Amino acid sequence: MLQVSGIPRGRVDRTAFYLLRGVTLVCDAIGVLLLASVLLMIVAAVVVRDIIGAGLPWTEEIASLLAIYAVGFGSLSAWVRGEHLLVDLFSHRLSRRARAVQYRLTALLSCGFFVLAAWGAWIMSDMSANNRTVSLGISFSYLYYGIFLGFAGMAVLSAWQTLRGMVDWQPVADTHQESP
């Protein structure tokens, strides 16, 4: 496929390129804001406890909720960029066609896992709807929605990877190094 400055020329690929780029930027921005909020909550709790002598027991609940959503958005962003942990034992020995088949098979298996994990998070959110946190009384369902969000997003992306296959413009962890 011909590329101009890393941007694909085909209409569908160009749309996917910009969509994935947007998803990554939004997920990264939200993840950073959520993690900064977690840090702010922890600092506020320590300052109020040590300087003022009062407690903020609700900060632990909010920090946990924000951290779960930060992980959900961060995992989605990492999946788009191909930065999740990868164990590559034999891919470098495969032909280009065999690597393409391996890529689609791995994406398909990943999609199945992500769908099951998202479904499990959704079921757990339903099962824990009446369980509430101690200080604020927030339903535990909101914790599971963050997990659902990350797995459902990765399921959609891995389904797209299964259908589309490898593309030159999408970052993929490639340990195959050509010798000169």
Where along the chain do its domains lie? 6-164
Give the global pTM.
Answer: 0.81
- Provide the pLDDT for residue 24: 92
Query: Considering only CA atoms, which of 160, 152, 164, 153 is closest in space to residue 122?
Result: 152
Write out residues in the chain with pLDDT < 70, as ranges: 1-5, 87, 168-180
Residue 8 in 3-state DSSP? strand
- Provide the pLDDT for residue 121: 96
Which residues, including other chains, have CB under 8 Å from residue 128's CB and lie 6 or more apart? 139, 140, 141, 143, 144
Work out the angle at residue 149's Cα, subtended by the Cα atoms of residues 145 and 153, and round it to the nearest 5 degrees: 165
- Provide the pLDDT for residue 68: 94
- Provide the pLDDT for residue 175: 46
